[in-house]
A and B are shown apart, each in its own frame.
Chain A
Amino acid sequence: MTKEEKYSLAKWAMNHALENGAQQASVSISNNQSSSVDVRDEKIDKLEQAIQSGLTIRLFVDGKYSAHSTNRMKKEDLSHFINEAIEGTKYLSEDKFRSLPEPELYYKGGGKPLNTLDPNFSKVDPQEKIDLAFAMEKEVLGADERIISVSASYYDGLNERVMVTSNGFEGDSSNSYFGLNASVSVKSDDARPESYWGESAIFFDKLKKDGIGKMALKRAIDKIGQDKIESGKMPMIVENRQVGRIFGPLISALSGSAIQQKNSFLIDKLGKKVVSEKLTLTDDPFIPGGRGSRLFDGEGLATKKRVVFNKGVLETYYIDTYYGKKLEMQPNGGGTTNLVFETGDKDVNGLIASVKKGILVTGFNGGNSNGTTGDFSYGIEGFLIENGKITKPVSEMNITGNMLDLWSNIGAFGNDINESSSWMTPSILFEGVDFSGM
C-alpha cells in the first residue's frame, strides 16, 4: 500500500467507526517488508521473505474503551470487524479517564528530518545479501580447530505507518534497518560455549560489514574454561551492550501505569535524588539517524527533548494520556526515544584497568527484577578481573541486590557508547555488588 492508500483506508475505517456508534476513534495502518538469509556449512540454511500489513483501531464508545487489530484489510471485512468491536465495547464498564489526547499536544508538522529511512532500501541486490552472510562465515571457517558450528545471517526490513485520529491528528513515519549477525560454537571438554556478534544500521552503506565473524569467534573462544568462582561482594563492570538489562527496570519504574498501579519503586520520587549523582540522562527524540528518533509518539503527542535524571535527581516520569488523567499529570509521551548518558573518560579497558578484583559482565542469563521493590537477581557470565587485568572466564554465577542501591553505587561511566541501540549505553563500573558462585 502507498502512503496515500493507507491514509485513505485509515480515514475510511475511522469514519466507519464514528458512523456506527463510536464517539472518538484513532486508526493506524502499518506495513512491513523484510528479508533474511541464514548460512551454515557454506550453504544457505534459510531464505525468508515477507510482506505484512495490519490495521489497529482504538474505540471510545459511550465512555468505554477497546482496541483491535487485524490483517484482514478489505473494507467488507473491516466493516464487520469494526461493527462487532463497537457492539462488544458496550458491554464493558465506563472509564472516565479514557479519551484521545488534547489536540494542542499533537505533533503538527514542521519537524526536522530525522533520517530514519534509507531511500535506497529496495536497491540492495539480493545476491549481495547472500554474499555478505557467506563473507562473515568465511572469516571464521578454518580459523580454529575447536570450531563446531558457525552460522551467519543477514536481515533487513522497512516499516511504514500512518495514523489518524478523530480529533485532528494525522501523521506518518517510516524507518529501515539492516543487520548482520554471526554465531560460533566451539568445543571445550564437555561444554560447547557459543557466542555471537552483530551489527546493525539504518542505512545499508553505514552497516559495518567486516570483522563480525571474527568477533563472534573471539568471544566464543574467550569463554573456554569458564567456571564459577567464590561468592563475594566485588566491583562489577557491565559491558555497554549489556547495560540495558539492568537499566530497563529503572525505566519501567518511571511509566505512568507502573506509578498509578503501585508497581514501581519510584513512586513519589519526582525531584528527589534517587541514584548516584554520576547519572545524568537525557531523552532526545531528535538525533538525526538515532535508532529511537521520532517526532510523535504512539498517540500522536509531539515529542520533546527532556532530562530524565539530573545528577541522580529524578526529573520526569513517562506519562501517556490515560495515566496522565488518572495521576493528574501532564502527558509527555509514554515511552523512551533515544537515551543519552553523560559519559566518563575511559573505555571498557580503562575501566578494567582501574579494578583490583572484580567481574566484567559480558552476558546475562535469566533472572528478573521485582517491579514493586526493585529487588533483582540475574544470572551472569563474563571475566574475573585481577589487578586491572582479565585473568579468566566465569559463568554460572548470580548477582543479587536492589536497583536503587546498584544505581547509587556507580563507580564510573565509560565513554564507549553503544550506537546500535536507541538506549545509547556506555560500559559502567558499579561498586560492591553481591555475586553468588561457589
Chain B
Amino acid sequence: MEVNRRNFIKTSGMVAAGAVILPPFVQSCQNAQISNTVKSYLDHFEVSTEMLQKVIAEAMSKGGDYADLFFEHKISNNLGLEDGKVNRAYSNVDFGVGIRVLKGDQTGFAYSENITLDDMLNAAKMAANIANSNASFNAGAVNEKMPANYYNISKKWSDVSVKDKVPFVQKINDKVFAMDEKVIKVNAFLNDETSYTLFYNSDGRLTYDYLPMVSFGVICIMQKDKQIENAYSARSFRKGFEWLDESVIDELSNEAVSRTNILFEATKPKAGEMPVVMGAGGSGILLHEAIGHTFEADFNRKGTSIFSDKMGKKVAESFINIIDDGTLEGNRGSINIDDEGNDVQKTYMVKDGVLNSYLHDKISAKYYGVDPTGNGRRESFRFIPLPRMRATYMEAGQSSKDDIISNVDYGVYVDNFSNGQVQIGAGDFTFFVKSGYLIEKGKLTQPIKDINIIGNGPQALADISMAANDYLMDNGTWTCGKGGQSVPVTCGLPTVLVKKLTVGGTNA
C-alpha cells in the first residue's frame, strides 16, 4: 500500500481526505536505490534516509550491539449506537517514533512524539545509555526490505466518511430489534483503524507497513418477565470498507440474538473435574492460554515458563499440530512484517505431538540460535517488541463432532467465551464460558452459562484425546494483553475433547 498524502497526517479520518497531493517537505536525496513506495513512507513521516542514519548512529554511540527505529501513525475511528441511534463518534490520532538499543539481552528504550531530527537525537541518546562505552558507528548502505501482502483491500478506511459508515450500524440495530420481541436494548459499534509504520535498523534494513483493521459488533439485551440477559457478537479483520455488507449484518444479528436466547434457560453445572468438549472456533482460546503464552520464548529464555526445557519432547497425542500463523489473508492477527522488520511465518509450535518451535522475537531468536519467527510485536511506538502470538490454531483431526460428544458420559460442551488468562510458571490457565451445554450420556442437554474453567497447560495439552474434522477460525475481536501491551490476535480450533478440566459450578 502506498501512501502519498503528507496531508493525511493531519486528518482525523472523520471525513474522507480530499485528493490533495502536496509536494513532500523533505527532498529524499537517497544514497541507495529505494522504491517509490518506501519513499512515500519516508515522506509521510517527513524523514530522509540520512536522518535515519544519523539517529541510528546516535543510538549506537555508547557501544550498543543493535538499534532500531519504529515510526508509527495510527488513526482510529469509532461509531457507537445506543437507544436506537448512531449518536456518538470517537476518533484518535497517535504519532511518533520508538527508539530501541540492544546490548546483549539488555534493552534501552525511549520514544518521541515529535519527529524532528533534534527530538529523535535526544530520544536516541537516552536509549543509548543501556550501553556504557564509547563507540563510533557508521551506518552502512540502506537495504530496503519489501514486506509481504497478507491484507489486500480495495477501499481504504481513510477514504470512507462517517456518512458512509452510519447506515451499517443503524441497520444492525433495526435487524436485532426485528428478530425477537424480547429485545429491549441494542448497543452496536463500528471501529476502523489505519496504521502506517516505517522501520529502520542498524543493519540498514528499511521497511514499512500499512495496517488496516475493522471491528463491527452488536450487543443484544433481552427481557423475559423479570429476567434480563445480554450477549455479544462481533467480527474483526484486516479488511477495507468493501467487507461491510448485508451478510455481515445478518450473521452478527443472528448470532447475538441466539446467544442471548439460550441464556434464559441456562443454569450452572455441578462443580468439579469433568470431560470438556471444546466446540469448533472460539475454543481456540484454549490454545492461546494453555499453550500459546507459555511458548513465547522470552519466558522460556528466562526459564520461567512451564514449557522451558521441553523443546523436541512429546507434549501431546501425535495427531496434534498446533500453529501460530501471521500469514492468513485478511486475518485480524496477520502482519505483513513484524515490528522488528522480520518476515512473518506459519510457525508449527507443536508438530505431530512434539514441541517444535517457540515463538521468537529478535532477542530470543539470538539466544536460541534460531531464525526469527516473525512474532516480535508491539502495541505501538511507545512500547518495546515482545514475542507475541498472531493467529493461533490447531489443524483438523479425523473424528466427527458427534463422535466426540457421544464419547462423553457426563461433562460440558462449550463454544462461547469472553476471556481467559494463564500463569506462565505454574501453567494454570482459565477461560470464561459465556454459554454452552451439559453433556449427559453422550447428548447435549441443559444449557449452561457464566462459568470459569481452569486447568494446567501441559496436562490439558496431553489430555486432548480426540479432534474433529470441523476446524474453524474465530474472527472475533480477540485482544491479547501481556506486559501492559495489547495486540490484536485470533484463535481457532476443531471440536476437541479434553479428558479432564475443573469446571466452576455449584456444590449440592
Contacts and interface: CB of A to CB of B under 8 A. Distances in A.
Contacts of A151: 302
Contacts of B86: 92-93
B451 A46 contact: no
A405 to B, nearest CB: 11
A167 interface: no
B426 A192 contact: yes
Interface in B268-316: 268, 271-273, 289, 302-306, 308
Contact of B304 (A66, A71, A194, A263): A194
Main secondary structure of the interface of A (DSSP, over half): strand
Interface in B124-162: 126-127, 129-130, 161-162
B273 A438 contact: yes
B357 to A, nearest CB: 20
A92 B166 CA distance: 7
Contacts of B302: 40, 148-149, 151, 185
Contact of A46 (B96, B107, B268): B107
Contacts of B79: 92
From A64, A148, A368, residue with most partner B Cβ within 10 Å:
A368
Contacts of A89: 14, 89, 162
B449 interface: yes
A44 B132 CA distance: 12
Contact of B503 (A77, A368, A436): A436
A438 B454 CA distance: 11
Given A192-B426, A231-B507, A437-B502, A64 B87 contact: yes
Contacts of B127: 47
B329 interface: no
A68 B505 CA distance: 43
Contact of B420 (A47, A185, A366, A377): A366
B287 to A, nearest CB: 15
Given A46-B109, A437-B272, A437-B502, A190 B161 contact: no
Nearest to B128: A47
Given A44-B106, A377-B504, A72 B10 contact: yes
A378 B452 contact: yes
A81 B90 contact: no
A377 B112 CA distance: 42
Interface in A383-399: 395-399
B224 to A, nearest CB: 12
Interface stretch (B31-39, B242-250, B339-347, B427-435): B427-435
Contact of B424 (A194, A396, A398, A438): A194
Given A52-B382, A231-B272, A398-B503, A95 B106 contact: no
B94 interface: yes
Contact of A50 (B268, B382, B429): B382
What bracket does the count of chain A residues touching chain B fall in? Answer: 35 or more
Given A84-B11, A85-B91, A368-B450, A71 B113 contact: yes
Contacts of B428: 365, 379, 381, 395-396
B223 interface: yes
Given A52-B382, A88-B15, A262-B221, A193 B425 contact: yes
Contacts, number: 274
A304 interface: no
A193 to B, nearest CB: 5
B418 interface: yes
Interface in A56-105: 64-72, 76-77, 80-81, 84-85, 87-89, 91-95, 98
A95 B85 CA distance: 8
A262 B109 contact: no
Interface string A406-438: 000000000000000000000000000011111
Nearest to B433: A377
Given A49-B110, A85-B91, A379 B430 contact: yes
A395 B429 CA distance: 11
A366 B14 contact: no
A77 B229 CA distance: 45
Nearest to A433: B507
Nearest to A148: B303
A243 B113 CA distance: 38
B9 interface: yes
A148 B112 CA distance: 36
B130 A44 contact: yes
A52 B430 CA distance: 36
A173 interface: no
Contacts of A64: 87
B502 A436 contact: yes
Nearest to B170: A93
A435 B221 CA distance: 30
B421 interface: yes
Given A47-B130, A192-B425, A400 B505 contact: yes
A210 interface: no
B90 A395 contact: no
Interface in B55-91: 79, 82-83, 85-91
A96 to B, nearest CB: 10
From A40, A149, A438, residue with most partner B Cβ within 10 Å:
A149
From A81, A95, A367, A434, residue with most partner B Cβ within 10 Å:
A367
B12 A84 contact: yes
Interface string B442-454: 0000000111111
B187 interface: yes
From A72, A373, A376, residue with most partner B Cβ within 10 Å:
A72
Given A368-B418, A400-B506, A435 B10 contact: no
A68 B304 contact: no
Nearest to A58: B90
B11 A192 contact: no
A368 B432 contact: yes
Contacts of A92: 79, 86-89, 162, 166
Nearest to B75: A70
B494 interface: no
16 contacts: A67-B88, A68-B14, A68-B90, A81-B10, A88-B15, A92-B87, A93-B87, A94-B85, A194-B304, A231-B272, A366-B431, A367-B504, A372-B221, A373-B228, A377-B432, A377-B504
Given A89-B89, A232-B507, 19 more contacts: A47-B107, A47-B130, A71-B94, A149-B304, A192-B304, A194-B423, A262-B221, A365-B429, A367-B430, A379-B428, A398-B451, A398-B503, A399-B504, A400-B451, A436-B502, A436-B507, A437-B271, A437-B272, A438-B273
Interface of A: 40, 43-53, 64-72, 76-77, 80-81, 84-85, 87-89, 91-95, 98, 148-149, 151, 185, 190-194, 223, 226, 228, 231-233, 261-263, 326, 365-368, 370-373, 375-379, 381, 395-400, 434-438
Interface of B: 9-15, 79, 82-83, 85-96, 104-113, 126-127, 129-130, 161-163, 166, 184-185, 187, 221, 223, 228-230, 268, 271-273, 289, 302-306, 308, 382, 384, 418-432, 449-456, 458, 502-507
Closest 4 CB pairs of A and B: A88-B14, A366-B430, A436-B271, A398-B504
